[in-house]
Chains A and B, each alone.
Chain A
């Protein structure tokens, strides 16, 4: 058992380390992997990452992140960057940056995002690289968008990867799925004048595990003692805070037709007059989900394998939660190399 002197010394050291580390913090740098802006349409941008490694897969990969929060989670810090690791494994990577919706976007629909922006980015890559097909990786809602795009344009997608992507919204396993079913989404969208506040979404996410923030701050004294841990903590804070507002019509349609009516997996979803049949997805598909994901529970992701038409299809379970699957240590060692190998084997 420690005596008073040891405890006092520990307290003095904790405080001294924290003061030293906090005083040295200047800028909070996120998403530092070098990239170039190669295409833009209004707020939507396409970035191409610089890659000094030898490419092991000729076909480039396009990442379609969710509209909720920002794609920078995949490149949050240099030593735990999903994107940097992919680049080092020899994959040519592009990412769509959706930008920040404003009132002019209030009527932007899922069709605009999928048949417009994603298709335009795919066409740009196909033209630039003189190829017929691209590899597509969709994350969370971006994965749902990617499934729809691939079902409508199977001739343009070589390989499809979905990461923590919901397809079966019938499940009540996650609180989000439970609450969305009772949501009067028309009142929400109209109440926000057509652009749903990012802070409103963040409040909802916080309530899924109401004491997570408290636990995070409880660990702060230990975090502050280590400069690297402090910087990582601050990076995550900045990423969480950076929650873009949502185009109201897309939000309305996604909540109604996915969460409430589950149209996609039932084969009833129609996008601008085009019926979406997931059986039209015949290219190789890799579906990755996080074992302890409370935002997109595994039960909502696994059915992808049952409803697509692909013969070459695989389910992969990784430890961790919705975000941890990207930034956890095991992501670098397990997830990203597995994704790269899967793509290279099918190039």
Chain B
């Protein structure tokens, strides 16, 4: 509720100022609204009453949840109101200001308008900020940095807009001249925003600082007084200091990585037994060299891209100068920005397609991942006695699972073959069982005895007299 009322208050105040400016501006330009039934003051009063009514309606909503749910409707109503009044005022303004010119020339207002347009620009800036903040909220998390980078690049280049306008007007487009207004450092910062790079800075200074940081870490192992807790505390302090300095982007990468490791393992320091400190020290050395390689290769790759695109701005300025000679029209900032981005991409793509860039990009990826990999190894060694499954042990489980999957599939394939064979085989008659073999001696004797008995019995039957 507070957020909604604050927003309303901010916009209402901004609107009030804007309409006061418009009222004043209209008075300066026109002698009278002789054909209109209302005076500027009447319109302002009408607007203010409507604004107040809308605000009171919003305040009547008691339940904060309901207020929040109804916010879009309120905004919609408020915005509709502003738009209709804007249109009314602009119609008056437009009818009576044919000689004011346009906004083409970098928002250079006629001097007597400067103070008044500040209010309008301020309202526009507040609105644009609201849009950016709320648009950012709607995006998925991993897309937000892209919009942020774009916004920074767009705003950064606009600071030079008035200079660019003059340069296009007067045909100043040679690189040396352009560099005076838009320095190589400013250009590199801009490309960093577009490409997601970090500043390359002074490479030798960066390497010296990196080595210093690692040597201090290594000294702890040599003193034989180190424990995992003391090492991580010291390491965290070192990387944090470096991340706050001038060479910060590269150390920030290291500091962020370290912070994650440190935070996750901090609760376990007190239950640890002795770790494999010697092996861990060796890994630290590996990390040091791999990290230096990462910094150097990244810088080399970025420099290739910077060099490729450095003529894009002069080319864009010349193109618009040539067009200006024909049409006498200078572009808006957006059109300029669009053209510059396309020309820059054209130049950069030539480098991206080269063999050298392809190999270098692979080396940068390899070095960066190498650092990560070594950090994982370092953590596992340092906390080897912790009572839970380490990554390498989890890998063993994953390997077993994969092996079992294959075995099951192989068995299924064999089974399917057998089933197919059985299905294809024609049905066979059951084979006749051979007659059981008679046993010769004992059976014969028995048979004879039976026969005799039977015969005798039969004979007795026959001769027995009837009773």
Write the residues of chain A forming the contact surface with B, with a CB cutoff of 8 angstroms: 1-9, 11-13, 15-16, 18-20, 22-25, 28, 103-109, 111-112, 115-116, 175, 178-179, 181-184, 187-188, 190-194, 199-200, 202-203, 206-207, 209-211, 213-215, 217-218, 220, 224, 234, 237-238, 240-242, 249, 272
Q: Which of B239-247, B252-260, B276-284, B368-376 is near enough to bind chain A?
A: B368-376
Q: How many residues of B contact A (CB 8 A)?
A: 77
Q: Is B352 in contact with A207, judged by CB distance below 8 angstroms?
A: yes
Give the 9 A-B residue pairs with the shortest CB-CB distance, closest first: A191-B369, A107-B402, A5-B94, A241-B140, A211-B345, A9-B90, A217-B150, A5-B93, A187-B366
Interfacial chain A residues near B344, Cβ < 8 Å: 211
A-B residue pair count with CB separations less than 8 angstroms: 194
Q: How far is the CA of A112 from the CA of B445 in the complex (A)?
A: 72
> Bound complex: CA of A166 vs CA of B461, how far in Å?
100
B residues near A179, Cβ cutoff 8 Å: 358, 361-362
Kindly state the separation between the CA atoms of A12 and B94 in the bound complex, as whole angstroms.
14
User: Known contacts A182-B358, A214-B194; is A191 also within 8 Å of B372 by CB?
Assistant: yes
Interchain Cβ contacts under 8 Å between A and B, 22 examples: A3-B94, A4-B97, A5-B94, A7-B102, A9-B86, A9-B87, A12-B86, A13-B83, A13-B86, A19-B130, A22-B131, A111-B406, A178-B358, A179-B358, A181-B358, A182-B355, A188-B366, A206-B196, A217-B154, A237-B139, A238-B140, A241-B140
Contact partner of A192 (CB less than 8 A), chosen from B131, B138, B140, B369, is B369
Q: Are A234 and B358 in touch, CB under 8 angstroms?
A: no
Given A4-B103, A109-B402, A19 and B131 contact (CB-CB distance below 8 Å): yes
Q: Which residues of A contact B365 (CB under 8 A)?
A: 183, 187-188, 191, 200
How far is the CB of B127 from the nearest CB of chain A, in Å?
A: 4
- Chain A positions within 8 Å of B450 at CB level: none
Tell me if B362 and A19 are in contact (CB < 8 A).
no
- What residues of B have a CB within 8 angstroms of the CB of A202 in the complex? 142
B369 pairs with A8, CB closer than 8 A: no
- A11 in contact with B124 (CB, 8 Å): yes
Does B182 make an interface contact (CB < 8 A)? no
- List of A residues within 8 angstroms of B86 by Cβ: 9, 12-13, 16
Q: Chain B interface mostly helix, strand, loop or mixed?
A: helix
CB-CB < 8 A to A184: which residues of B? 362, 366
Let me know if B369 and A16 touch, CB within 8 A: no
Asked if residues A218 and B334 are in contact (CB atoms below 8 Å), the reply is yes
Majority SS at the chain A contact face: helix
Instruction: Determine the chain A residues whose CB is within 8 A of the CB of B391 once the complex forms.
Output: 103, 193
**Given contacts A106-B395, A179-B361, A214-B153, are A16 and B402 in contact (CB under 8 A)?**
no
Since A6-B94, A234-B138 are in contact, a sample of 8 more A-B pairs with Cβ atoms closer than 8 Å, ordered by chain A residue number, is A4-B101, A8-B93, A11-B124, A16-B82, A191-B373, A210-B345, A218-B154, A218-B337
